[in-house]
């Protein structure tokens, strides 16, 4: 990756979907329910399977957070929640006709480390009984550095976890105070050092730009601290201030948010610093060291994308467990109930706790392939697309190709006779390229609900 920041056109300083799915989750409807998912599970073809488990509990609220969470200091709530997960797992086992091997397992939240060692052990036993892990499975968990120490990491390693993701966001004390998430650099450094000594395959650090009280100068200090830790991967997310949708964000003082010019300066400096320290841009906002499996997959054209972001796993089905979790089975997506009472009630009825979802039609499937090719490989090959979906690419997407012409003029894409190719500059705003192929955005042209493209 070049260490020289590439200027971002002002007209692309906007919002857009992250495309962890297509159609995006805001297009799901209640018309798709538990019966539809059961049918999809019954029709599922053998193949790689991924599992995501949502643990919603957090001891304290981070003001920037847009995740589905339950803030509580009452750890006795975890046991009953595991009872519900046991019911859900059993329903999936029944619908799938028995145990199904899994190549990827991820625990997210919320704060998965809210669970005690005994509870985490129980959860892993429950999961493995129905979803046995392949020998080479990627087994990852999100860790709040404030709730973990070296002994906790050692226990996670014993349970079979081989990848860790640490939520850092920013090391500046003023920013941490403004978002109600205070943690020291030394504590995170100790955890990453422990993770390496314990043999974890990969460590990831999450950062957020656009937080209150952040300045280009303060964020540059955080960048220096993060690169000094030398994690295998770094995710740099853009803060989306949507207080009308996410109640905790109402505690953020709007006047303390950095403006667009400052945010852009932070992103450019981050890309420069990461490049200088050996990180490659994987796509959009993910970076990895050259030897990391994500970087290798990117170079070899094997990168994929799912609800956890970029992945080395083959394009595969995903079972989502827990309140608000989203899954994908074949040409369908399904999301669980977003509140614990609704989730509980469905499981008490013996039903999969599906609140909404969608079944993809032929056009959705074709556009999903087009968008994922751009997001993951940076190349949409006409002939490859035609072999998979028929028709003539240039005729089917004549409008889209015309809309890409201005982006080509900016040097963000190349419209070759046989392919659409994302340039090195275009990788910074690859969502803008993918959005051109989003039919749902064309029919409901709004981007307010999404995070910043860059």
> What's the CATH code of the domain at 386?
1.10.10.920
- Based on the domain organization, do 405 and 257 belong to the same domain? no
CATH value at residue 92? 3.80.30.20
The 3-state DSSP class for residue 21 equals: coil
- Based on the domain organization, do 82 and 136 belong to the same domain? yes
Q: What is the pLDDT of residue 3?
A: 37
The 3-state DSSP class for residue 405 equals: helix
Distance, in Å, from the CA atom of 370 to the CA atom of 436, rounded to the nearest integer, reads 10
CA 448 to chain centre: 19
Q: Determine whether the annotation assigns residue 343 to a binding site.
A: no
Q: Determine whether the annotation assigns residue 65 to a binding site.
A: yes
Q: Determine whether the annotation assigns residue 206 to a binding site.
A: yes
Q: Determine whether the annotation assigns residue 348 to a binding site.
A: no
Q: What is the pLDDT of residue 284?
A: 79
Q: Is residue 288 part of a domain?
A: yes
DSSP state letters, 228-259: HH--SEEEEEEP---TTT-GGGGGS-GGGS--
Q: What is the pLDDT of residue 446?
A: 53
Strands 49-55, 133-143: pairing is unpaired
User: Cα torsion at 187, 192, 194, 200 (round to 10°)?
Assistant: 150
- Based on the domain organization, do 271 and 366 belong to the same domain? no
Residue at a domain's end among 254, 283, 318: 318
The 3-state DSSP class for residue 412 equals: coil
- Based on the domain organization, do 313 and 374 belong to the same domain? no
Strands (E), 300-389: 304-306, 309-311, 317-321, 326-329, 332-336, 354-359, 379-381
Q: Determine whether the annotation assigns residue 142 to a binding site.
A: yes
CB-CB neighbours of 74 under 10 Å: 9
Distance, in Å, from the CA atom of 166 to the CA atom of 324, rounded to the nearest integer, reads 22
Q: Whose CA is closest to 104, among 129, 81, 122, 127?
A: 127
How many structural domains compose the chain? Answer: 2
Q: What is the CA radius of gyration of the chain?
A: 21
Q: What is the pLDDT of residue 285?
A: 85
227 in Cβ contact with 281 (< 8 Å)? no
Q: Determine whether the annotation assigns residue 52 to a binding site.
A: yes
- State the DSSP code for 9: P
- Based on the domain organization, do 297 and 232 belong to the same domain? yes
Q: Determine whether the annotation assigns residue 316 to a binding site.
A: no
- For 331, residues 6+ apart whose C-beta sits below 8 A from its C-beta are 40, 359, 360, 364, 365
Q: Determine whether the annotation assigns residue 109 to a binding site.
A: yes
231 in Cβ contact with 287 (< 8 Å)? no
Q: Determine whether the annotation assigns residue 10 to a binding site.
A: no
- Give bridge partners of residue 391 from the DSSP assignment: none
Distance, in Å, from the CA atom of 126 to the CA atom of 83, rounded to the nearest integer, reads 10
Tokens of 372: 């994922």
Does this model's pTM top 0.85? My answer is yes
Distance, in Å, from the CA atom of 134 to the CA atom of 48, rounded to the nearest integer, reads 10
Q: Determine whether the annotation assigns residue 111 to a binding site.
A: yes
pLDDT along the chain (454 residues), means of 10: 40 72 93 97 91 96 91 95 98 95 95 96 98 96 94 98 96 97 96 97 96 98 98 94 92 96 94 96 91 92 86 88 96 97 97 97 96 94 97 96 95 96 90 93 62 57
Q: What is the pLDDT of residue 2?
A: 39
Tokens of 360: 């993809």
Distance, in Å, from the CA atom of 312 to the CA atom of 143, rounded to the nearest integer, reads 21
Angle (deg, nearest 10), helices 216-229 and 260-276: 20
- Based on the domain organization, do 50 and 114 belong to the same domain? yes
- Based on the domain organization, do 365 and 284 belong to the same domain? no
Give the structural domain span for 62.
12-318
Q: Determine whether the annotation assigns residue 263 to a binding site.
A: no
Q: Determine whether the annotation assigns residue 376 to a binding site.
A: no
Distance, in Å, from the CA atom of 309 to the CA atom of 235, rounded to the nearest integer, reads 10
């Amino acid at each position: 990756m070049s260490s020289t920041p590439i200027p971002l056109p002002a007209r692309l300083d906007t919002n857009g979907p992250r495309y962890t799915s297509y159609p995006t989750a805001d297009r799901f409807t209640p018309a798709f329910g538990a019966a539809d998912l059961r049918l999809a599970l019954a029709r599922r073809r053998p193949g790689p399977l991924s599992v995501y488990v949502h643990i919603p509990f957090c001891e304290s609220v981070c003001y920037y957070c847009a995740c589905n969470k339950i803030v509580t200091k009452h750890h006795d709530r975890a046991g009953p929640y595991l009872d519900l997960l046991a019911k859900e797992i059993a329903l999936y086992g029944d619908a799938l006709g028995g145990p199904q091997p899994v190549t990827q397992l991820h625990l997210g939240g919320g704060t998965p480390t809210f669970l005690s060692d005994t509870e985490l052990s129980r959860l892993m036993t429950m999961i493995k009984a129905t979803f046995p892990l392949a020998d080479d499975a990627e087994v990852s968990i999100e860790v709040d550095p404030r709730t973990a120490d070296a002994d906790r990491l050692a226990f996670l390693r014993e349970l079979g976890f081989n990848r860790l993701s640490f939520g850092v966001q920013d090391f500046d004390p003023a920013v941490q105070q403004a978002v109600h998430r205070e943690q020291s650099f030394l504590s995170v450094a100790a955890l990453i050092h422990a993770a390496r000594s314990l043999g974890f395959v990969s460590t990831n650090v999450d950062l957020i730009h656009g937080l209150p009280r952040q300045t280009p100068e303060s964020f540059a200090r955080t960048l220096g601290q993060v690169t000094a830790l030398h994690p295998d991967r770094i995710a740099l997310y853009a803060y989306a201030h949507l207080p009308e949708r996410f109640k905790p964000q109402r505690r953020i003082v709007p006047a303390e948010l950095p403006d667009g010019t400052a945010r852009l300066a932070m992103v450019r400096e981050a890309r420069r610093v990461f490049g200088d320290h050996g990180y490659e841009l994987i796509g959009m906002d993910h970076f990895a060291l050259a030897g990391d499996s994500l970087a290798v997959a990117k170079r070899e054209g094997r990168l994929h994308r799912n609800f956890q972001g970029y992945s080395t796993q083959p394009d595969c089905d995903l079972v989502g467990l827990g309140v608000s979790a989203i899954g994908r089975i074949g040409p369908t997506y399904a999301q669980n109930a977003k509140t614990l009472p609704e989730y509980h009630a469905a499981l008490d009825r013996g039903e999969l706790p599906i609140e909404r979802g969608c079944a993809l039609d032929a056009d959705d499937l074709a556009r999903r392939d087009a968008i994922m090719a751009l997001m993951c490989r940076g190349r949409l090959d006409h002939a490859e697309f035609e072999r998979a979906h028929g028709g003539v690419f240039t005729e089917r997407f004549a409008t889209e190709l015309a809309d890409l012409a201005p982006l080509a003029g900016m040097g963000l894409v190349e419209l070759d006779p046989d392919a659409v190719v994302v340039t090195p500059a275009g990788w910074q705003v690859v969502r803008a390229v993918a959005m051109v192929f989003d039919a749902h955005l064309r029919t409901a042209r709004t981007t307010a609900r999404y995070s910043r493209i860059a």
